[in-house]
């Protein structure tokens, strides 16, 4: 008897039990989390399959993150997954805050001896797809539809999907399912509602996320804290720069034509002695409502969630990709230990080890959101206290060090 877990799957034809389709692990989602888990499994010769709804071309070009913390780069490197990144990424040492018409450099590498690496997420995904498939012989099925999870509480779970070529439902029996299908995936909904708790936070704020076909206007990340709202600048490549503009939640990107965007960026990022912004065509314009969630029980039976499927952090502190990689290292190692050596310690400790860093980053995101958005909150008290918090970073060494460690995710507690 099969119990389909997808909420949109009232009935599924019975399992034809194709004996060929039996894998120790099925990974749902070919983002950074799923591909990294897959690469770790393949490195240990564990058989697995990755199921992805989009095409290979789509996942390799989807623009998203760019900031990767040094500990994550080291972990990727240790697992043979960072060769291109180390060759092409820029290592940054400072960021810059602009407020009250002045520029303030924050030298985080001098304080922590660690860097931020700038490497566009599409390049990382391209590297990981190539490594998983072409180098480590992994199986990815792109363009699958209607993925469903079955019998997760049994010792014989399975995953089924509609094959894009035949339109037939195919089944894969497995020992474990890695739910790496991001914030809008289906695996989170397969957690039994009576056992799952999801903590949520809505900032009541949105950012207009922009990609401009223009070289960066500064040699580092810039945060503009302004009474008109937050603005951000970060390099993506020598030809493309990401900008953010705080805007009302639910705002329509069409309300932001080219001229308005650049006028507002110049105003909010303006400061004495700052180089002028290099304008360019806007090739992406999306409104992101700032909200976060944490699935407090990201594992049940044979299903383990990782990355955005398990927790979402708004791009405020540029942490989502880093957390996705952290989960993937933990889960990949734990599955390998269990499946090759019968050692279940990693799987048993997965939830706790993942959530420790997740909650730490969530707290930092919230703290940083106050700094970014206090000046424009309309509340003079909040504007005053958050400005004091910001000034402290440039006057008190202990406060500066604490900020640098959180910003780089390098605190020793992990």
With binding defined as CB under 6 A, does residue 73 bind ligand RFL? Answer: no
Residue 362 contacts residue 354 (beta carbons within 8 Å): no
List the one residue from 43, 48, 186, 336 that touches ligand RFL (CB under 6 A).
Answer: 186
Q: Minimal distance in Å, beta carbon 412 to ligand RFL?
A: 20
Phi, psi of 122 (to 5 degrees): -60, -35
With binding defined as CB under 6 A, does residue 158 bind ligand RFL? Answer: no
List the one residue from 23, 32, 129, 293 that touches ligand RFL (CB under 6 A).
Answer: 32
Of 317, 311, 318, 411, the C-alpha closest to 369 is 317
Alpha-carbon dihedral sign for residues 64, 67, 73, 75:
negative
With binding defined as CB under 6 A, does residue 292 bind ligand RFL? Answer: no
User: For ligand RFL, which is the closer residue by CB, 209 or 331?
Assistant: 209
With binding defined as CB under 6 A, does residue 358 bind ligand RFL? Answer: no
Say how far apart CA 332 and CA 337 lie, in whole Å.
9
Size of the site for ligand RFL (CB under 6 A): 35
Q: Which of residues 194-223 bind ligand RFL (CB under 6 A)?
A: 209
Residue 180 contacts residue 320 (beta carbons within 8 Å): no
Report the DSSP beta bridge partners of residue 91: 117
List the one residue from 27, 29, 133, 371 that touches ligand RFL (CB under 6 A).
Answer: 29
Say how far apart CA 229 and CA 268 lie, in whole Å.
7
With binding defined as CB under 6 A, does residue 148 bind ligand RFL? Answer: no
List the one residue from 122, 157, 182, 409 that touches ligand RFL (CB under 6 A).
Answer: 182
With binding defined as CB under 6 A, does residue 103 bind ligand RFL? Answer: no
List the one residue from 181, 264, 333, 405 that touches ligand RFL (CB under 6 A).
Answer: 181
With binding defined as CB under 6 A, does residue 298 bind ligand RFL? Answer: no
* Token pair of 86 as six digits: 């180390």
Q: Minimal distance in Å, beta carbon 33 to ligand RFL?
A: 3
Place of tokens 């945060």: 223
Phi, psi of 27 (to 5 degrees): -110, 125
Say how far apart CA 139 and CA 20 lie, in whole Å.
14
Of 321, 301, 302, 303, the C-alpha closest to 311 is 321
Q: Residue numbers of the site for ligand RFL (CB under 6 A)?
A: 28-34, 51-54, 59, 64-67, 121, 147, 180-182, 184-186, 209, 288, 307-308, 315, 318-322, 324
């Amino acid at each position: 008897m099969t119990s389909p877990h997808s909420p949109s799957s009232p009935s599924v034809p019975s399992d034809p039990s194709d004996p060929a389709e039996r894998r120790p692990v099925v990974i749902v989602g070919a983002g950074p989390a799923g591909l990294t888990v897959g690469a770790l499994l393949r490195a240990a010769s564990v058989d697995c399959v990755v199921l992805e709804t989009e095409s290979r071309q789509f996942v390799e070009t989807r623009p998203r993150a760019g900031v990767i913390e040094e500990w994550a780069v080291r972990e990727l490197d240790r697992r043979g997954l960072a060769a291109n990144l180390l060759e092409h990424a820029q290592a940054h040492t400072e960021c810059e805050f602009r407020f009250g018409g002045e520029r303030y450099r924050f030298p985080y590498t001098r304080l922590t001896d660690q860097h931020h690496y700038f490497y566009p997420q599409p390049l990382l995904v391209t590297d990981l797809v190539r490594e998983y498939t072409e180098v480590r012989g992994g199986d990815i099925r792109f363009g699958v539809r209607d993925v469903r999870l079955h019998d997760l509480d049994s010792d014989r779970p399975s995953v089924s999907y509609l094959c894009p070529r035949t339109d037939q439902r195919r089944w894969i029996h497995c020992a474990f399912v890695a739910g790496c299908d991001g914030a809008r995936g289906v695996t989170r909904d397969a957690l039994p509602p009576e056992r799952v708790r999801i903590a949520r936070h809505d900032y009541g704020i949105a950012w207009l996320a922009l990609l401009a076909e223009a070289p960066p206007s500064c040699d580092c990340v810039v945060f503009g804290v302004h009474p008109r709202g937050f603005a951000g600048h970060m390099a993506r490549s020598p030809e493309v720069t990401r900008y953010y503009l705080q805007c009302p939640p639910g705002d329509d990107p069409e309300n932001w034509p080219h001229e308005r965007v650049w006028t507002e960026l110049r105003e909010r990022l303006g400061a004495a002695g700052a180089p002028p912004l290099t304008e360019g065509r806007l090739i992406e314009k999306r409104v992101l409502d700032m909200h976060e969630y944490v699935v407090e029980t990201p594992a049940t039976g044979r299903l383990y969630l990782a990355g955005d499927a398990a927790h979402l952090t708004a791009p405020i502190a540029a942490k989502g990709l880093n957390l996705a990689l952290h989960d993937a290292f933990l889960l990949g190692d734990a599955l390998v230990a269990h499946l090759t050596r019968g050692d279940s310690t990693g799987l048993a400790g997965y939830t706790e080890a993942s959530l420790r860093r997740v909650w730490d980053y969530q707290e930092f995101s919230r703290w940083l959101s106050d700094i970014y958005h206090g000046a424009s909150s309309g509340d003079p008290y909040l504007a005053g206290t958050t400005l004091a918090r910001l000034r402290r970073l440039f006057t008190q060494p202990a406060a500066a060090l604490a900020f640098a460690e959180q910003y780089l995710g390098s605190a020793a507690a992990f």
